[in-house]
Chains A and B, each alone.
Chain A
Amino acid sequence: MDFTLNDEQRMLEETAARLVRERYGFEQRRRHAAEPTGYGAGIWAMMAELGLTAVPFPEGDGGFAGGGVELLVLHQQFGRGLTLEPYLASVVLGGGLLSRLGADAQREAVLPQVIAGETILALAYAEPSGGYDPFWIETKAERAGDGWRLSGAKSVVLHGDGAGRLLVTARTGGGTGDGDGISVFLVDPTQAGVGVRGYATIDGLRAAEITLDGAAGELVGPEGAAADALEATLAAGCVALCAEAVGAMEQACELTLDYLKTRQQFGAPIGRNQVLQHRMVDMRIALEQARSMAILAACSLEADAAERERRISAAKALIGTSGRFVAEQAIQMHGGMGMTEEAAVSHFAKRLVMIDHWLGDSDYHTARFAELPEAA
C-alpha cells in the first residue's frame, strides 16, 4: 500500500499548484470571472500550453494517459483556486466521452483542438424532469437520410454556452429511464434547431439550457449502447468534483483557522473558545474523511464498473455532505464577514455547497449506492 505520488504525478501537482498560486489569487479570479467567456482565456491557453489539457487522454489521442490519480491531483489544485476554466466540461466530460466512444476519424477531427484549448466541448446529458439521473432521457434521435435529427431539451449543461461542440445524449431506443437505447451525438450548436440559453451559476461558472428541435447530430459510437461509456465518463467527472471539493475544503479550513487565530472579541482571539475549537476540529475531520474518499474514488476509476460505481457514489455522497458542513461552519465562524461577497471564504462555501448539485447530490448518490450490487 502506497499513498504517495510518483515523480510524474508530483510534477503535475507542482505545475498545477504553481499556476493556481501565481494566477488564481482572489483578485485575479475576480478578473478572470469578468472576462466575456466567464473564465480566463489567457489562463486556459496556458493550461493547454503546459500540457494540462492533455493529461487524461490516451496516448493515441495525443494525451498522457493520466488516470484517476492525475485527475485528483489536478482538480484538487483547481479547487484551491476555484478556477473557472472549462476543464471539467471540455476535457473530462466532453473530451472523455468522445475519447471513449468516438470513431478514429471523429477523435482525430476534434480531440487535438480540445487538447489545444481551441475547441470547448460540453456534455449535455441531464434533462429537466430527470433530476440527477443520466439515463432519464426523453430527447429523441431519429434517422434522417444519412444522418440523425435530435429533438428534446437538456438542462444545466456545464459550459454549454461557450462550447464549440456539444455531446448530446439521446434515445434511439428503450424507455425513458433505461440504460439500453442511449446514443451520443456530436452537435454543432450554431445550427438552426439548437437553442442555447446561457447563464452564470451560483458558484461562478457558466451553464446553459439547450433545446433541440430537429437539430442535426453525428452519431458517436455504437447506436443505443452508450450507457457504459456515459457512466464511466460521469465517474471521472465525479472524481474531478470530489477532488475540487477537497481543495476548496482545504482552503475554507485554512481561512477559517486563520480567522479564529486573528479575530479578536472579548479581548482574545475567538479561537480561544472551546466550542469554536471543536467545530474547527470537526471541519478538519470532515476534510480528512473527504480526502480519503476522493482518493478511493480516484483509485477506483480504472476498476471494473461494478466496483467503480459503488465507490464513486459513496465518495460523491460523503463529499456532498461534508462539503456542506465545512461551508456552513466556515461562514458561521466568520460571523458577518462570512456573509459577504468580498470575503474569499464565502466563495469557497458557495462552491462547496454547489458541488453537491453537479453530477448528482448526496441523496441521489446515497440511494444509488444502496441499490448498486456489491462487487463480487
Chain B
Amino acid sequence: MDITYTAEEQAFRAEVRDFLRDGLPGDISDKVRGGRRLTRDDHLRWHAALNARGWLAVHWPTEHGGTGWGPVQRHIFDEECAAAGAPQIIPFGVNMVAPVIIKFGTEEQKRHYLPRILDGTDWWCQGYSEPGAGSDLASVKTRAVRDGDHYVVNGQKTWTTLGQHANMIFCLVRTDASVKPQEGISFLLIDMDTPGVTVRPIITLDGEHEVNEVFLDDVRVPVDNLVGEENKGWTCAKYLLTYERTGIAGVGMAKAALRHLKSVARRQERCGRALIDDPIFRRRLAEVEIDLMALEMTNLRVVAAVQGGGVPGAESSILKVRGTEIRQAITDLLRRAVGPYALPFQHEALESGFNEEPVGPDYAAPLAPQYFNRRKLSIYGGSNEIQKNIVAKMILGL
C-alpha cells in the first residue's frame, strides 16, 4: 500500500497549478474568494480559458475534444481549481448533457452540439424536476406528443439552475402515459428561444436568483432533438446521474472553505484575542478538519478503485452524504465565526461593483447567506435521504 501520489501525478498537479496561475482571471478568483456574485460572462470567460487549454471537458474522450483524463487526474484538477479560487464549471452542458449525447446521440447531434458546448455558444440547463416530481423523478408529467416532424411539449419544469442564462434545456418528457412510469419517458433537447417557453425566477431564501421555473406551452420541438430512442429516456437519465455524481464529495471545495474558515478565525477578534485561540472554536475546527481528512481518504479510495477499472456505484452516495454534511458544517462555523456580524443582510455587498465600507469585517457579508444557500447541498442531486436509501439497498441489501 502506498497512499502518496506518483511522480507523474505530482507533475500533473504542478502543471495544473502553473496553468491556473496565468489562466484563471484574477478578478474572477477574487469574486469566488470574496463570496461575490459571478456574472454569466465570468463563467463564460473561465470556460473559454479552460477550453483554450483543452481542459474544459474533463470527462470527454479526446476524440471529441475532451481531456481523456483518468479519475486521479480529474480529482487533482478539481482540488487545484478549488484551491485557486476557480468557479465551478457549470456542469449542465459539459458534464451532463454531453456525456449523454456522446453515448446515445446521433453523429449529427454530436457534430452539432459538442463544439457549441466547448466554445460557449450554448448554455445548457437541466429540466428534470417538476413540481410533482422531485425525489420521485420517474413521475414526470410534462407531455411530448408527436405531430409530424415535431413533438408538441406541454408541462412545467422547476428548480432549473441558472436557466435565466441558458439557451438550451435538456428535459425528461413523457411520451407514453400508458406504461410503467420509467418506460414512457424520453430525453429531449429544447431550444429555449422556441415560442411557448417561459422562464420565471425563483428567489431562494438567501435572496438570490439561482433557480427558475420553466413553463412549456405547446412548444414545438423537432423530432431530431430526441436523444436515444423514444420512451428510452430513463436510460439516458440514469446514465447522466452517474456523471452528476462524480466529484460529488466536493473535497476540493471543502478544503478551500476550511482554509477560508481558518483565515477568518485568525482575523476575527473576540474580546482581545483571536477567535482561533478560543478553545471551543478551535475544537470545532479540529473536529471538522478531521472529518474532512477522513472524507478525503474515502474519496481517494473510491477514485483509486475507479482508476483501477471499477465503476463507482453506491459508494458515490456515501461521498455525497458525507461531503455535503461536511461542507454544511464548515459554512455553519463560518457564519458563527463572525458572531453578531452574521446578522446584517448586505445584499448589495455581494455585487462585484460594491465599494462602500462593508458593515463589520469585510469577509462577513456573504457568510450567513452562504450558510443558508448551502442547505441545498443535501437536497439537490438526489437528496441525502434518497442517497441513504440507495446505500441501504445497494450496499447493505436491506
Chain A residues in the interface with B (C-beta under 8 A): 126, 128-133, 136, 155-156, 176-177, 197, 199-203, 207, 209, 264-267, 270, 273, 275-276, 328, 331-332, 335-336, 338-342, 346-347, 349-350, 353-354, 356-358, 361, 363, 366-367
Contacts and interface: CB of A to CB of B under 8 A. Distances in A.
Given A270-B135, A332-B384, A340-B205, 8 more contacts: A129-B269, A130-B271, A131-B270, A209-B359, A335-B134, A341-B204, A350-B205, A363-B280
Q: Which of B340, B341, B345 has the most CB of A within 10 A?
A: B340
A213 to B, nearest CB: 16
A207 B344 CA distance: 8
A264 B369 CA distance: 30
Interface string B370-385: 0110011011100111
Nearest to B347: A200
B342 interface: yes
A132 B339 contact: yes
Given A155-B340, A335-B135, A363 B281 contact: yes
B33 interface: no
B336 interface: yes
Nearest to B384: A332
Given A177-B271, A177-B272, A199 B159 contact: no
A275 to B, nearest CB: 6
A128 B360 contact: yes
Contacts of A335: 134-135, 379, 383
Interface string B109-138: 000000000000000000001001011100
B132 A201 contact: no
Contacts of B132: 264
A156 B340 contact: yes
B207 A341 contact: yes
B25 to A, nearest CB: 30
6 contacts: A131-B270, A156-B343, A200-B344, A200-B345, A266-B136, A357-B343
A292 B158 CA distance: 41
Contacts of A177: 271-272
A125 B368 CA distance: 22
B350 interface: no
Contacts of A367: 280
A341 B343 contact: no
B263 interface: no
B39 interface: no
B342 A126 contact: no
B388 interface: yes
B375 A332 contact: yes
B135 A336 contact: no
Contacts of A328: 375
B203 interface: yes
B343 A358 contact: yes
Interface string B319-359: 00000000000000001100111111110000000000001
Contact of B380 (A155, A275, A336, A363): A336
A284 B246 CA distance: 36
Contacts of A129: 269-272
Contacts of A361: 336, 339
A275 B383 CA distance: 13
B32 interface: no
Interface residues of B, number: 45
A201 B343 contact: yes
Closest 3 CB pairs of A and B: A346-B205, A131-B270, A265-B136
B240 interface: no
Contacts of A270: 135
A369 to B, nearest CB: 12
Given A130-B271, A341-B205, A202 B368 contact: yes
Contacts of B335: 353
B343 A202 contact: yes
A349 B205 contact: yes
B145 interface: no
A336 B158 contact: yes
B271 A336 contact: no
Contact of B343 (A266, A339, A342, A354): A354
B388 A275 contact: yes
A354 B341 contact: no
A350 B359 contact: no
Contacts of B285: none
B336 A130 contact: no
Contacts of B101: none
B162 to A, nearest CB: 15
B197 interface: no
B205 A136 contact: no
Given A207-B343, A357-B343, A363-B336, A197 B359 contact: yes
Given A156-B343, A335-B135, A336-B134, A130 B359 contact: no
Contacts of A356: 336
A106 B326 CA distance: 53
Contacts of B346: 199
Contacts of B368: 202, 353-354
B202 interface: yes
A126 B205 contact: no
A349 B378 CA distance: 16
Given A131-B270, A342-B203, A276 B342 contact: no
B321 to A, nearest CB: 12
A156 B368 CA distance: 15
A275 B344 contact: no
Contacts of B341: 155-156
B261 to A, nearest CB: 15
A270 B204 CA distance: 23
Q: Which of A202, A207, A270 has the most CB of B within 10 A?
A: A202
Contacts of A332: 375, 378-379, 383-384
Contacts of B360: 128, 155-156, 209
Interface in B191-208: 202-205, 207
Contacts of A353: 335, 368, 371-372
Nearest to A341: B203
A129 B368 CA distance: 19
Contacts of A200: 344-345
A353 B370 CA distance: 13
Nearest to A200: B345
A199 B358 CA distance: 11
A141 to B, nearest CB: 20
B180 to A, nearest CB: 12
A202 B270 contact: no
Nearest to B383: A335
Contacts of B369: 202
A155 B336 CA distance: 16
A27 B2 CA distance: 61
A131 B345 contact: no
A158 to B, nearest CB: 9
A92 B346 CA distance: 27
Contacts of A126: 340
B340 A336 contact: no
A354 B340 CA distance: 9
